[in-house]
Chain A
Amino acid sequence: MTPVIETRDLNVHFGGVHATRDVNFKVAEAELRCVIGPNGAGKSTFFKLLTGQVKPTSGQILFRGEDISNMKPHEPGRLGIGIKTQVPSLFNGLSVWENVWLSARSVNTAEQSERITRRTLERVGMTAYRDTTAGLLAHGLRQWVEIGVVIAAEPPLILLDEPAAGMSDAEVARTAELILEINRQHALIVVEHDMNFIRMIAKKVTVLHQGAIIKEDTPDRIMSDPLVQQIYLGKKPH
């Protein structure tokens, strides 16, 4: 089966920094994968490679078998990759409804878009706020609107960069629920810091360190791995 997304020997150099090293990464259709790593591990760079914001120095990125290594900025969205960046990025001057509608409309007709927008708002629990200007919402609500914007276009692959950042415990739990529900029909790659959150959602975790993948396994095995513990906590393996 073709993986929904795959990287082969992916490398990125910034000046003297080897930010991404020989990364061979595969995610299957409808899989949920978490990517973790300490600060400076290259998570953001890797994320930006997958979204086309950074071009690889060498290697390939394949989306459902198609080479997308040198995409223009608007192409990932068009191909079916939904992206939620670390800093919430919405149309602050538009209403919640309009934000989601624009996403739905990018792949559907006008009549379908009405229906899909309504349904998406229900899925993320933001129906009550449909006419609120997005810029006025609290942080947690903005994150959910943005998730709504991403899923409205029904992309086969969704990339989330720190979706639980800045949320209260209740909001984090709700977000985890939402992600698992989305995962029933879409592949997801979640880049995260918060270990608790990862345990709520992940079946397989990829650990990055200094730009390279050092381990891929279930959350429990990752957490008890001495090498991972060392790079995260500075503990020496004994």
Chain B
Amino acid sequence: MNRFAKSWMSAALSLAIGIAMMLVLPGVLDDYTLIQVTIYAVMSILGVSLGFIWGFGGILCFGQAAFFGLGAYTYAIAVMNMGDSTGPFLLAIAVPALFAMILGYVIFYGRLSDVYMGVITLTVTLILFNLINSTAGPEWKIGSAPLGGFNGIPAIPTLNVPGHPNDVLSPKDLFDLTFVCLLVVYLGLRMLISSKIGRVIIAAKENEQRVLLLGYDARVYKLFSFTLGGAIAGLAGCLFANWGAFTSPTIFGLAQSAQIIIWVIVGGLGTLVGPIVGCVAIQWLTTQIGTQQMFNSNLVLGTILVVFVLLVPRGIVPTLGSLGEWAFGRMRRRKASSTTAAAQAETAPAMAATERAT
């Protein structure tokens, strides 16, 4: 990460843009487009959850969709049983978090190689998919909520104002809530990254052995990141269930898991804004592809993934950031070269020192 990205300036800038969008968009967009933007925001939260655990924690989870799906299903089942949506909202975050904690414990405390992490998380997602997919019969229900199997759960009650079960959120309210969640998640993660815990998490990704030698139990820190990522993905799942009032087992599928990974890679691994950018770009692209017949969406997404891994491995945001720094640096150097010789003599020893360092 370059210094600009790490500084508070870039965080403030991102936050400002986010708040501005939140305040301005409802005024200029019609309801339909607002609903479209809401889903982009929901998926961005999901993308950020993976971007955090992968880019900062070094945890390559191929099954982040599992926590997303658990959040959606937990909310649906809970709200159908409980009426008021406050409890279900919290459960939708807690259940995936708990699941992540257990899975994380098995993986991190089991001395399993990081590479196997990808395959195991993929497998877990598939297990969930298989299980939920087969629950189509009417005998499969939790309380008064039928699981629906491959049909999914339709007509999910929307979130209501806490304590007033009949005061349901409108599309505009949902837009506001989603944006607030996105900004809170972004700000929260930014602050975490600058804290001691965040620094240890990043260091453990850099060099786990060194972190252990310093006396930090890397396993605990990884477990914490993974659980937090699961909770955030669960939040996204809950919002998703509200957005469409529907959820189905495809949420646990390979396609969904692949999409999240593509967002992060395209947007930029190692940043928080990157996954948001990647998510919006790919979601938009997928909608465009859906409107024409020539290219299959799998084809396009697959090509994008391969091309990015081979040619643009750092993703859009860091690459743009580096280009910006390079351009900025050239401007500065052009200014510097027009100064007096005395000033040039001053910079020479500093450059010599840098040369010795490299």
Contact = CB atoms under 8 A, between A and B. Distances in A.
Asked whether any CB of A lies within 8 Å of a CB of B in the complex, the reply is yes
A98 interface: yes
A106 B357 contact: no
Nearest to A80: B215
A94 B202 contact: yes
Contacts of B264: none
A148 to B, nearest CB: 12
A102 B207 contact: no
A141 B357 CA distance: 8
A40 interface: no
Nearest to B217: A74
Given A94-B203, A102-B199, A153-B215, A89 B210 contact: yes
B274 to A, nearest CB: 16
B294 interface: no
B299 interface: no
Contacts, number: 72
A6 B213 CA distance: 20
B351 to A, nearest CB: 13
Given A91-B206, A91-B207, A138-B356, A74 B200 contact: no
A81 to B, nearest CB: 9
A23 to B, nearest CB: 22
Interface string B206-236: 1101111111111000000000000000000
B24 interface: no
Contact of A51 (B213, B218, B356): B213
Contacts of A86: none
Given A91-B207, A92-B206, A74 B212 contact: yes
A20 interface: no
B335 interface: no
B214 A138 contact: no
B353 interface: yes
Secondary structure of the B side of the interface?
helix
B196 interface: yes
Contact of B214 (A103, A128, A129, A141): A103
A76 B217 CA distance: 11
B214 A149 contact: yes
Contacts of B356: 138
A90 B212 contact: no
B357 A138 contact: yes
Interface in A140-198: 141, 149, 153
Interface string A77-93: 11100010100011111
Contacts of B210: 89-91, 149
A72 interface: yes
Nearest to B270: A93
Interface residues of B, number: 21
B358 interface: yes
Given A129-B357, A136-B358, A78 B215 contact: yes
Contacts of B215: 74-79, 106-107, 153
Interface in A65-79: 72-79
B357 A77 contact: no
B349 to A, nearest CB: 11
A99 to B, nearest CB: 8
Contacts of A90: 207, 210
Given A94-B202, A136-B357, A138-B357, A89 B217 contact: no
Contacts of B202: 94
A74 B209 CA distance: 9
A214 interface: no
Given A76-B213, A153-B214, A89 B357 contact: no
21 contacts: A51-B213, A74-B211, A74-B212, A74-B215, A74-B217, A77-B212, A77-B214, A77-B216, A83-B213, A85-B209, A85-B213, A90-B210, A92-B206, A98-B203, A102-B211, A106-B215, A106-B216, A129-B357, A138-B358, A149-B210, A153-B214
For the complex of A and B, list the 3 residue pairs with the smallest distance between their C-beta atoms, beginning with the closest.
A77-B215, A78-B215, A91-B206
Interface of B: 196, 199-200, 202-203, 206-207, 209-218, 353, 356-358
